[in-house]
Amino acid sequence: MKLKDITAKSAAKDIFTGIIIALVSIPISMGYAQVSGLPAVYGLYGSVFPILIFGLFSTSKQFIFGVDAAPAALVGAFLAALGIENGSDEAVQLVPVISFFVGVWLLLMALFKAGRVVSYISTPVMGGFISGISTTIIFMQIPKILGGTSGRGEIVELIAHIADTCAHSFNVTSAILGGTALVVLLISKKLMPKLPMSVFVMIGGAVLGYTGFAETHGVALLENVERGLPAWRLPHFSGLDITQVLTTSLTVAVVIMAETLLASSSYAAKNGYKLKNDREIMVYGLGNIAASMTGCCPVNGSVSRSAMGEQYGGKSQLMSIAASFSMMLIMLFGTGFIKYLPVPVLTAIVVSALLGAVEFHLMKRLFKQDKRELFIFFGAFFGVLVFGTVYGVMTGVILSFISLIINVANPKRSFLGVIEGHEGFHSLERNTYAHPLKGVVLYRFSGNLYFANISTFISDIEAAFKDDTKAVVVDSGAVCNIDITAADRIAELRKQLEDRDVKLYFASHIGSLNDRFRQLGLGSMVEKGHCRRTIPAALLDAGFTAPYATENDKETAADKLPVRSFERLEFEWAFGASADEEMEKYAEKLLVNINSSGSAEEQLTGIINADENWKGMGDLDREELLVHLESHLKELSEKLHISEEHIEEAIELRKLRLARNIGRKDPKALKMLREHDRRFDKELKKHDSKLYEKLLAHRREALDNLRKTNPEFSDLIDELSKQ
């Protein structure tokens, strides 16, 4: 925790949040202590010193540490397997020993920098993991709202426990109290997110307990807790099967490291700060050793309390320190009210916080943006629900690596050509005005070449062969390495091409790739000049010089394409098939940005001419944008208080100037440009005939006026009118 990051305002909010977390930790920590096999009071003991240590030394600004579900459930399952009764003296002796060795394992993990493993876990895995943990804990807690006890195990066991609770121990009053509290909390979170409604709900529940209403109707209350801070003492190691303890504690330590690092890293990424992972693991270890010294079960990061801390605006670990001291004060002076707290009401507080931790927003985002990543999210999510924490993370990580292998095995690739009047080589797929070079296959492969993708590489090249192909030039700028399988296949391809009198080149790659070629038996390609620093150098060696001949028939590619695919250099490169839609959005954005500053004429001139609006756009893109602006004459007129006729004349004058520039560079482009404008008009007529007729009238009038006011464009107007 850095004191320089704390202000008086943030400190007040952090302290207030810490007090709320301490109050909410009462039912949470007591409940999870019971899950681990300990008496409930030990949960409060684990909410004092471990949280204080975490608050003082953690690099996480917002995460909360304490007694929580996953470690408690693992320890409880271990005790159940040994036949040790919950709350027994044997459990009180054994659980702190497990906590101690969990701390030792975590310190060793920090020493060997095990935190780096989290860097290999993706956002969908992280989100699915957190959501799975939160959902699991929610299912654990539901029976307590219904009048029963907390569940254990994975989703199947938890659902079975809920059904058993409904059948044998269902309490109507308990369900109504818990359900009402949950509804109030969820509604207040939407309508009044800053209001600490959980505290008010807890106070209301305490009133019901104090008046005897809850007890009269069979609603469970928390146990009475004696005053006083926990005493420090070493765990008793005698009489234990140390092998079983070490195995169980290692499992718990791995879960704590994975769960807490994943969750705290998620908070750090969301709020723009970085964690020191190995220091975090060290703090987890110290926290668990402190827990063992007070007789508590293992502790870890709490998703539910961290979500609550974020909800109330906590910004630093001062809230953990405040929570620790608040718990001390409660244990010294305020334990009397605990016995009046209804279990279903306090459980509703926990469930409310956990629902906020389930990453519904990430599910929605992945559904819209990347279905494969959504599959990984659900893999981790259901992995946690069905198989538990560790296997859930493993499932998500395995799916992530499978996705990575698929992506690497199928990288982006394209064939290239040239655009007349523009430098460089451009994707034929993404630039409809680009044409392939005659006699050359120009191929870009955006990934390393190895055994899983070399067949795709070769198949693409073989499919592009024509009878007149004399050279294959691979734009290998994105290729940094190849493996031996790829090298052997490239050698075979090169021999096949040579038999057909076709030369194979690699160009534009980093120099170290040449070293790799020589290392893997392709040194002759480097020695004979078939590995070149640039594509033009490779083409020159193959006998092709600029300006390059293209496969541009009399009927050009643009003539064959529908209106929306017409060449838009910058916009088409940026947006691909969505270029026309994005151009329209850009035109609408210019309208939105019109304001009251400056004269109307200045703003009109700015919209039509300003380079800052169209910085980097070529003449074709600018002309395209003007065509889109024409369909918004009415809005322009209303915003600028200038007649539509005047605006149309200004637009037409700008279009003429652009047409003249385009015609000087490429007369063919001017002809296609006019054809494109006519197709745009045809589409406009089809969808809005009234607007089309109105626009056509304005355009004719504007062009007639421009013949008089700008006679230098008369011939161009006539030429365009004939096309």
Say which residue, 458 or 356, is predicted with more confidence: 458
pLDDT of residue 471: 94
Asked which of 14-23, 373-382, 551-560 is least confident by mean pLDDT, the reply is 551-560
Grade residue 52 by pLDDT with cuts at 50, 70 and 90.
very high
pLDDT of residue 561: 34
Q: How confident is the prediction for the chain on average, in pLDDT?
A: 83
Asked which of 375-379, 483-487, 548-552 is least confident by mean pLDDT, the reply is 548-552
Answer yes or no: do 370 and 441 share one domain.
no
- 0.75 cut: is pTM over it? no
Answer yes or no: do 588 and 696 share one domain.
yes
Residue 300, beta-bridge partner list: 66
pLDDT of residue 666: 66
Selection from 290, 309, 225, 298 nearest residue 24 by Cα:
309
Answer yes or no: do 308 and 438 share one domain.
no
Grade residue 119 by pLDDT with cuts at 50, 70 and 90.
low
Find all residues with CB under 8 Å of 410, minimum gap 6, and list them: 453, 456
In a domain, residue 548? The reply is no
Could you give the residue ranges of the DSSP H alpha helices within 553-688?
557-560, 569-575, 579-592, 600-609, 619-630, 633-640, 644-665, 667-687
The predicted model gives 661-672 an average pLDDT of 70
Grade residue 290 by pLDDT with cuts at 50, 70 and 90.
very high
Has residue 632 got a pLDDT over 60? yes
Q: Which two tokens stand for residue 113?
A: 């920098």
In a domain, residue 450? The reply is yes
Say which residue, 329 or 118, is predicted with more confidence: 329
- Secondary structure (3-state) at 550: strand
Residue 223's Cβ-side half-sphere holds a number of Cα atoms within 13 Å equal to: 15
Has residue 559 got a pLDDT over 70? no
pLDDT of residue 440: 94
Grade residue 327 by pLDDT with cuts at 50, 70 and 90.
very high
Distance (Å, whole) CA 240 – CA 247:
13
Answer yes or no: do 508 and 582 share one domain.
no
- Secondary structure (3-state) at 445: strand
Last residue of a domain, one of 397, 425, 454: 397
Per-residue pLDDT tens for 489-529? Answer: 999 999 999 999 999 999 999 989 999 999 999 999 988 88
Has residue 422 got a pLDDT over 80? no
The predicted model gives 633-644 an average pLDDT of 84
The predicted model gives 213-227 an average pLDDT of 85
Instruction: Give the range of the structural domain holding residue 343, as residue numbers without chain letter.
Output: 8-83+111-223+239-397
Has residue 570 got a pLDDT over 70? no
Answer yes or no: do 126 and 270 share one domain.
yes
Residue 426, beta-bridge partner list: 417
The predicted model gives 650-664 an average pLDDT of 82
pLDDT of residue 166: 92
* Contact of 385 with 133, CB cutoff 8 Å: no
Among 267-276, 459-468, 606-615, name the most confident range: 459-468
* Contact of 341 with 224, CB cutoff 8 Å: no
Cα dist from 58 to 103, 195, 665, 672, whole Å? 15, 28, 64, 65
The CATH number assigned to the domain holding 418 equals 3.30.750.24
Grade residue 566 by pLDDT with cuts at 50, 70 and 90.
very low
Please report the DSSP string for 590-607 in residue order.
Answer: HHHT--SSS-HHHHHHHH
Selection from 584, 577, 546 nearest residue 419 by Cα:
546
The type of residue at 68 is D
Distance (Å, whole) CA 283 – CA 59:
9
pLDDT of residue 657: 83
Within 10 Å of residue 7's Cβ, how many Cβ atoms?
12
pLDDT of residue 669: 66
Distance (Å, whole) CA 449 – CA 457:
8
Within 10 Å of residue 531's Cβ, how many Cβ atoms?
22
Between helices 343-357 and 172-191, what is the axis angle to 10°? 40
In a domain, residue 231? The reply is no
In a domain, residue 594? The reply is yes
Has residue 3 got a pLDDT over 60? no
Selection from 478, 487, 483, 485 nearest residue 526 by Cα:
487
Has residue 79 got a pLDDT over 70? yes
Asked which of 62-71, 336-345, 534-543, 556-565 is least confident by mean pLDDT, the reply is 556-565
Selection from 716, 606, 625 nearest residue 664 by Cα:
716
Grade residue 582 by pLDDT with cuts at 50, 70 and 90.
confident
Answer yes or no: do 511 and 650 share one domain.
no
In a domain, residue 229? The reply is no
Answer yes or no: do 437 and 521 share one domain.
yes
Residue 413, beta-bridge partner list: 445
Residue 123's Cβ-side half-sphere holds a number of Cα atoms within 13 Å equal to: 14
Per-residue pLDDT tens for 396-409? Answer: 778 777 777 877 78
Answer yes or no: do 175 and 271 share one domain.
yes
* Contact of 26 with 66, CB cutoff 8 Å: no
Cα dist from 684 to 294, 586, 649, 721, whole Å? 78, 18, 19, 19
Grade residue 369 by pLDDT with cuts at 50, 70 and 90.
confident
pLDDT of residue 5: 60
Distance (Å, whole) CA 203 – CA 345:
10
Answer yes or no: do 500 and 609 share one domain.
no
Among 267-281, 290-304, 419-433, name the most confident range: 290-304
Among 16-30, 169-183, 554-568, 636-650, name the most confident range: 169-183
pLDDT of residue 178: 92
The predicted model gives 448-461 an average pLDDT of 92
Last residue of a domain, one of 475, 508, 541: 541
Asked which of 108-117, 454-463, 511-520, 666-675 is least confident by mean pLDDT, the reply is 666-675
Has residue 661 got a pLDDT over 90? no
Q: Give me the number of domains the chain comprises.
A: 3
In a domain, residue 90? The reply is no
Within 10 Å of residue 359's Cβ, how many Cβ atoms?
22
Last residue of a domain, one of 524, 541, 558: 541
Answer yes or no: do 502 and 642 share one domain.
no
Number of H helices, E strands in the chain: 33, 8
Residue 503, beta-bridge partner list: 471
pLDDT of residue 29: 85
In a domain, residue 93? The reply is no
Answer yes or no: do 529 and 665 share one domain.
no
Burial class (CB in 10 A: 0-12, 13-18, 19+), 337: middle
pLDDT of residue 97: 95
Grade residue 615 by pLDDT with cuts at 50, 70 and 90.
low
**Considering the chain, what percentage of its residues have pLDDT values greater than 70?**
90
The predicted model gives 167-183 an average pLDDT of 92
In a domain, residue 99? The reply is no
pLDDT of residue 704: 85
Answer yes or no: do 181 and 266 share one domain.
yes
Grade residue 562 by pLDDT with cuts at 50, 70 and 90.
very low
